[in-house]
Amino acid sequence: MASESLSSSVNAKDRAASILETNGFILSATIGSGSYATVKSAYSQVHKTKVAIKIVSKKKAPDDYISKFLPREIQVVKLLKHPNLVCFIQSIETTNRVYIAMELAENGDLLDFIKGHGAVPEAQTGVWFHQFVDGIEYCHQHGVVHRDLKCENLLLNKNNVLKITDFGFARNGMLSADSNRPKLSETYCGSYAYAPPEILCGIPYNPMLSDIWSMGVVLFTMMFGRLPYDDTNHKILLHQVQKPPVFPPGKNVTEDAKDLMCRILSPAKRRIQMDEIRKDHWFKRIAPKVNKKLSVQNKKESKVEVVEPEAINNDSTKSKQGGTEKGALDWKPEKEEKKKKATNKTKKETTPQ
C-alpha cells in the first residue's frame, strides 16, 4: 500500500516535470509552500533565466479555491504589471494541476527575512514601505484589492526589491464605474493577525481600507520584528485591534513612524488613506533619495545590497501579460544591476538590530 502511494507520487512528480519541460521549464528545488500550493524554482529555456512555479493540486485544494479563487488569481495577475508586483509569466492547466510560472524572488519572503535578521532598520523599512505603497496603490488604482497582505506574501528579489505576490484572495473590478469609490466586500479573506476590526466584527468592509490596515501590520512587524496583535485568541484579538497599537519598549523607533502606524491601525472611519500616507511626515522624511543606495548586513552571507525600485511601467504593457504563450514570450527578466557603477556611489550602511 505504502509503496503504491510512493510510486504514484513519484509518477506524479515525473508527469509534472515532463509537462513543464514540454513548456520549456526545467523544474528544480522547492522554495516555498502556502495553504494549497508548493512553489518551486525552475529554469526557463525561453527566457534563459531562473523563474518560480507555483503548483496547485486540484485534488488537494478545496473546490471553491479551484473553481473561484484560483481562476481569479490568474485573471488578476495577468492584468497587473508593476516593478513591485511579482510578474506573471504563464499559466498551464492539466487535469490534476495548475502551474503558475512567475518571476523568481531569489531572496525569499519578508517573514523569513525578519525571522533571520530581527527587526528591519528604519531606513530599510522606509525603502520597503515605499515600494509596498507603490505596488498596492497601483493595484487599487486598477480596481484590484489584494485581501491577503502579510509578510509571507511580500518577496525580495536578488537586489532586495520588494515584490508583492499571492493574489489568491484578490478581486478586481472593485471601483464602481460612476463614483470611482470602492465597492464593499463581505467575504472574509486573509490571516486574522493582519485583519482589521471591521473584518473581525464581520461587517461589510471597504477592501482597500482593509488592505491599508494589513500594510500597517506589516509596517509594525518590520519595525519591531514581531506582530502587533496576538491572533491565538479571537476575543483578545478583537479587543486589541479596537485600541491604538501598543509599541514594545526598548526599540529605537522614531515618534513620527509610530504616529503613522497609529493613523493606519485605526478604526475604518478614521483610517488614513493611500494619498494621505504619501503626505505623511515619516513617509516623506524616509523617502528613498534617487540613486541613494542602502545596504543591510546579512547575518548568513556577506552583504545584501538594497536598491531603489525601477521607474513604474505604464499601462501599455498591461494587455500583453494575457494569454499563456503571449505572457511567456513577453516577459523579460529585469536587467542586471550594473555592479561597477553601484560600488562607485556613496553607500549608506544600516545594520539590523
Ligand X SMILES: Nc1ncnc2c1ncn2[C@@H]1O[C@H](COP(=O)(O)OP(=O)(O)O)[C@@H](O)[C@H]1O
Q: Which residues bind Mg ion (CB under 5 A)?
A: 34, 153, 166
Residue 47: count of CB within 10 angstroms of its CB: 18
How far is the C-alpha of 290 from the C-alpha of 304, rounded, in Å? 19
Quick one: 37 or 133, whose CB is closer to ligand X?
37
Among 40, 47, 54, 142, binds ligand X (CB under 6 A): 54
> Which residue, 34 or 225, has its beta carbon nearer to Mg ion?
34
Three cell numbers, residue 80: 497587473
Rank residues 256 and 333 by Cβ distance to ligand X and give the closer one.
Answer: 333
Residues in 61-90 at the binding interface with ligand X, rule: CB under 6 A: 86
Strands 293-297 and 162-164, how do they pair? unpaired
Q: Is 148 a catalytic residue?
A: yes
Residue 199 Cβ vs ligand X, minimum distance, rounded to whole Å: 18
Q: How far is the CB of 348 from ligand X (least distance, A)?
A: 27
CA distance 219 to 253: 12
C-beta of 28: minimal distance to ligand X in Å? 12
Provide, rounded to whole angstroms, the least separation between the CB of residue 352 and Mg ion.
Answer: 24
How far is 145 from 135, CA to CA, in rounded Å? 11
Which of 155, 218, 306, 307 is the binder for ligand X (CB under 6 A)?
A: 155
**Grid cell in block for residue 164:** 508583492
Choice from 104, 119, 162, 294 touching ligand X (CB under 6 A) = 104
Comparing CB distances to Mg ion, the nearer of 34 and 352 is: 34
Contacted by 39, from ligand X, Mg ion, none: CB < 5 to 8 Å by type: ligand X
Residues 217 and 198: their CA atoms lie apart, in Å, by 15
Q: Please indicate if the annotation marks 60 as binding a ligand.
A: no
Does 312 engage in binding with ligand X (CB under 6 A)? no
CA pair distance 286, 283, nearest whole angstrom: 5
Q: What is the largest CA-CA distance in the chain?
A: 64
Angle between helices 207-224 and 110-117 (to 10 degrees): 20
Applying the rule CB under 6 A, the residues between 231 and 270 that interact with ligand X are: none
Closest approach of ligand X to the CB of residue 152, in Å? 4
109 binds, options ligand X, Mg ion, none, Cβ within 5 to 8 A by partner type:
ligand X
CB-nearer residue toward ligand X: 182 or 190: 190
Site membership for ligand X, residue 152 (CB under 6 A) = yes
Residue ranges for the binding site for ATP?
54
By annotation, the residues acting in catalysis are 148
Residue ranges for the binding site?
54
Interface residue list for ligand X (CB under 6 A): 31-37, 39, 52, 54, 86, 102-105, 108-109, 152-153, 155, 165-166, 168
